[in-house]
Amino acid sequence: MGSEGGEKKALGWAARDPSGVLSPYSYTLRSTGPDDVYIKVICCGICHTDIHQIKNDLGMSNYPMVPGHEVVGKVVEVGSDVSKFTVGDVVGVGVIVGCCGNCKPCSSDLEQYCNKKIWSYNDVYTDGKPTQGGFADTMIVHQKFIVKIPEGMPVEQAAPLLCAGVTVYSPLSHFGLMKTGLRGGILGLGGVGHMGVKIAKAMGHHVTVISSSEKKREEAMEHLGADDYVVSSDQAEMQRIADSLDYIIDTVPVFHPLEPYLACLKLDGNLILMGVINTPLQFITPLIILGRKVISGSFIGSIKETEEVLAFCKEKGVTSTIEVVKIDELNTAFERLHKNDVRYRFVVDVAGSKFLEETATTTN
């Protein structure tokens, strides 16, 4: 890297307090090393987790905070030991940017479960400097935590796959649920849920969307390709799908009862929790015992699985349903996401945001 060991300036949009309001923020990137890649950000998806972080919903937020962990960019410089990437490559960065490298998860290519993992933002890097995310013009990332975007895949389509896509793909792969002919349920039709429908359908599954209202029925059936749609409050409809599903991917990020969905699972069925919920969930044990059912959890995916889901989606023609916004529309986008007013993932056009460029010329 031309300035290996030196500091570089960056400009992003940061939250300063739990109000979650973002505004331009100039900062210094961490010092670069021989395994680091300097990236010019092209675009970055908005995840529901970003809301939890900027508003300190989990009680662990540090400010100023530049969020964003579905980052696609172009390699500008590489360190002397970088072997996987060259200048000009289009690459992606997801939820984590560091790990210990020595524990069992790390040695098993499951670095997302490392107890010493480093988040791409709202964390501290090994040199003591805060990590900042992808709602910024540049990033510096260790080559281990970067993936190459398949040639020909539109960058704005790739961004949601780095979190939402791999979050769905990982448990289907891990639990042996990729074979054709399975019957799956998708609980919640948001950013992760809509990718769940598309990826499961591409695997040849019969997919039932379970939602809290009728308002997304047409979207789910006609546009996303779901095979069935059930409103969770309709007891007759829930009874119709009782004991019928091999798995349910539960993407709901707020408190909800589990019993109605456990009842939908077949013998040995798996309820896979993905939503970040900071209140206890409850269920009665007979629903599990009498069907040998499983309640499991899954957290994003590994770098290896991220590479796999990118290749899978390229091969199968799976795309995200997105709405592209400029970086000065971030606060409005977060407000709309909080109200579930998006189909189905916001992607911020960072490189094409003139407001960012104009601000950069006047910020020290």
Residue type for 89, please? D
In this predicted structure, what is the pLDDT of residue 329? 96
pLDDT of 324: 98
Q: What integer is the mean pLDDT of 211-237? A: 96
Percent of the chain whose predicted confidence (pLDDT) is above 70: 96
Q: Within 13 Å and on the Cβ side, how many CA atoms surround 20?
A: 18
Residue type (1 letter), 190: G
Q: How far is CA 82 from its chain centroid?
A: 26
Distance CA 67, CA 55 (A): 11
Q: Which pLDDT belongs to residue 357?
A: 44
Q: Tell me, what's the pLDDT at 227?
A: 98
Q: Is the pLDDT of residue 120 over 50?
A: yes
CB of 159 closer than 8 Å to CB of 166: no
**Vertex 358 angle, CA 354 and 362, to 5°:** 165
- Concatenated DSSP letters of 40-97: EEEEEE--HHHHHHHTTTTS---SSB----EEEEEEEEE-TT--S--TT-EEEE-SEE
Instruction: Calculate mean pLDDT across residues 255-272.
Output: 97
Classify 168-297 by CATH class. Answer: alpha beta
Residue with the larger pLDDT of the pair 288 and 282: 288
pLDDT in tens, 87-110: 999 999 999 999 999 999 999 999
Q: Which amino acid is at 47?
A: C
pLDDT greater at residue 189 or residue 359: 189
What is the pLDDT, as a whole number, of residue 355? 52
Question: pLDDT tens-digit profile of 298-329?
Answer: 999 999 999 999 999 999 999 999 999 999 99
Residue-level pLDDT at 124: 96
pLDDT in the model for residue 17: 98
Residue 215: phi and psi, rounded to 5, are: -65, -20
Tokens 């020595």 -> residue? 102
What rounded mean pLDDT belongs to the chain? Answer: 94
Q: What is the mean pLDDT of residues 136-157?
A: 97
Please check the confidence at residue 364 and state whether its pLDDT lies above 70: no
The residues spanned by each domain of the chain are 9-163+321-349, 168-297
User: What percentage of the chain has pLDDT greater than the value 90?
Assistant: 90
Tokens for 49? 């987790």
The average pLDDT across 124-151 equals 97
pLDDT in tens, 322-338: 999 999 999 999 999 99
Q: What pLDDT band is residue 354 in, cutting at 50, 70 and 90?
A: confident
Where residue 253 falls among pLDDT bands split at 50, 70, 90?
Answer: confident
Give residue 225's region: left, alpha or beta (phi > 0; psi -120 to 50).
left
Say how many C-beta atoms besides its own lie within 10 A of residue 277's C-beta.
Answer: 14
- What is the model's pLDDT at position 178? 98
**pLDDT for residue 4:** 66
> What is the arithmetic mean of pLDDT over 19-31?
94
For 207-247, where are the alpha helices, taking DSSP H only? 217-218, 235-240
For residues 136-156, average pLDDT: 97
Quick one: CATH architecture of 9-163+321-349?
A: Alpha-Beta Complex (3.90)
Closest to 258 measured CA to CA, from 272, 243, 240, 244: 272
- Whether 58 has a pLDDT exceeding 90, the answer reads no
